[in-house]
């Protein structure tokens, strides 16, 4: 297996970035690699670009060094895109495309690879897990370990989703040996919610509707609701997972309004529906059991359009 240090050897400037609306795996991977490269290449300029991460990730060391403004002039020797293809790098995308060497590391089935070097392994639980195996274990320290651990637990639902493999657990075991307070990290970054986050989740669950013989469930949060509860999209993470835990549900859909007739859609499934294939039809992507896209149209039009694709899959059962 290739090692990340062989690919960046000699570089004087390196950038690391991940996808828009960064989740735990994205933030953990970017920070884990950023800290690793800074330590291993003290002479080089190393930058991490990302949309401002949610406050829960404040426990990751040096997270305040993440740059949200991109230096559009700079041509990096190496640019590493994590947990996504180039199209979701946000304002870092043009800088990525201009870099002398592009490296893409990801675990999304929907990613065909977009680098001079692309390592896309869909069987990996998380980009963070894959990154661990591209690093030299001897050179990992407690700060790097914590960042990678956060990436793994967020994408595996704390090591319980079916993407968790024996290798995932071995790596998690190696990481907790560093002695950080993993149970506090799990509680504070994964389970804990503010009162308002809990309220809007309650409302979304209360207003959910099942359809297709109760095999699907859907709910939505409008901009007005977000204003009423004084929450932002970051506060809506996790709602779709609660919908998916309803007994008998094969596929769940959650959407929130991002603009006039525009919704960000999150989907989950128990494996009976390939939600990555559904999301791909609408320009999104993801994994078989977790995917997303952005859709234009009314809430009900979007449900109808998604239903057609889901029904197509039920037909093939």
Between CA 258 and CA 244 the distance in angstroms is 22
Residue 18 touches ligand 5GP, criterion: CB under 6 A = no
Among 7, 47, 51, 83, binds Mn ion (CB under 5 A): 83
Indicate the residue among 156 and 208 with the shorter CB distance to Mn ion. Answer: 156
Residue 237 touches Mn ion, criterion: CB under 5 A = no
CB under 5 to 8 A by kind: which of ligand 5GP, Mn ion, none does 286 bind? ligand 5GP
Between CA 199 and CA 177 the distance in angstroms is 37
Between CA 303 and CA 253 the distance in angstroms is 8
Between CA 315 and CA 203 the distance in angstroms is 32
Residue 266 touches ligand 5GP, criterion: CB under 6 A = yes
State the burial class of residue 13 (Cβ atoms within 10 Å of its Cβ: 0-12, 13-18, 19+).
middle
Residue nearest to ligand 5GP (CB): 292
DSSP 194-236: -HHHHHHHHHHHHT-EEETTTTEEEEEE-HHHHHHHT--GGGG
Q: Are 91 and 68 in contact (CB under 8 A)?
A: no
Indicate the residue among 135 and 286 with the shorter CB distance to Mn ion. Answer: 286
Among 30, 103, 278, 291, binds ligand 5GP (CB under 6 A): 291
Residue 208 touches ligand 5GP, criterion: CB under 6 A = no
Among 17, 110, 163, 307, binds ligand 5GP (CB under 6 A): 110
Residues 80-99 that bind ligand 5GP (CB under 6 A): 88
Q: Are 240 and 267 in contact (CB under 8 A)?
A: yes
Q: What residues form DSSP beta bridges with 251?
A: 216, 269
Residue 7 touches Mn ion, criterion: CB under 5 A = no
Give contact residues for ligand 5GP (rule: CB under 6 A): 19, 23, 88, 108, 110, 240, 266, 284-287, 290-294
Which residues of this protein are in contact with Mn ion, per CB under 5 A?
A: 25, 83, 127, 155
């Amino acid at each position: 297996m290739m090692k990340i240090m062989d690919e960046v050897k000699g570089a004087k400037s390196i950038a690391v970035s991940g996808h828009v609306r960064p989740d735990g795996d994205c933030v953990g991977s970017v920070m884990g690699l950023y800290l690793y490269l800074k330590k291993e290449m003290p002479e080089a300029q190393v930058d991490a670009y990302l949309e401002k991460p949610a406050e829960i990730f404040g426990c990751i060391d040096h997270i305040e060094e993440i740059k949200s403004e991109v230096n559009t002039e700079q041509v990096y020797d190496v640019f590493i895109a994590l947990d996504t293809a180039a199209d979701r790098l946000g304002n870092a995308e043009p800088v990525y495309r201009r870099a002398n060497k592009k490296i893409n590391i990801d675990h999304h089935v929907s990613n065909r690879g977009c680098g001079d070097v692309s390592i896309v392994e869909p069987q990996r639980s998380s980009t963070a897990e894959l990154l661990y195996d591209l690093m030299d274990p001897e050179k990992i320290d407690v700060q790097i370990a914590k960042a990678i651990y956060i990436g793994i637990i967020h994408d595996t639902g704390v090591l319980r989703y079916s993407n968790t493999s024996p290798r995932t657990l071995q790596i998690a075991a190696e990481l907790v040996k560093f002695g950080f307070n993993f149970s506090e990290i799990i509680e504070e970054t994964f389970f804990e919610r503010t009162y308002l986050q809990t309220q809007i989740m309650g409302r979304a669950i209360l207003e959910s509707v099942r359809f297709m013989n109760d095999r699907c469930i859907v709910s939505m949060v409008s901009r007005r609701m977000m204003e009423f509860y004084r929450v932002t999209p970051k506060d809506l993470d996790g709602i779709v997972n609660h919908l998916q835990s309803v007994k008998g549900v094969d596929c769940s859909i959650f959407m929130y309004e991002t603009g006039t007739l525009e919704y960000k859609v999150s989907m989950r499934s128990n494996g009976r529906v390939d939600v990555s294939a559904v999301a791909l039809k609408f320009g999104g992507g993801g994994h078989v059991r977790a995917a997303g896209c952005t859709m234009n149209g009314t809430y009900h039009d979007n449900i109808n359009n998604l239903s057609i694709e889901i029904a197509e899959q039920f037909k093939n059962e």
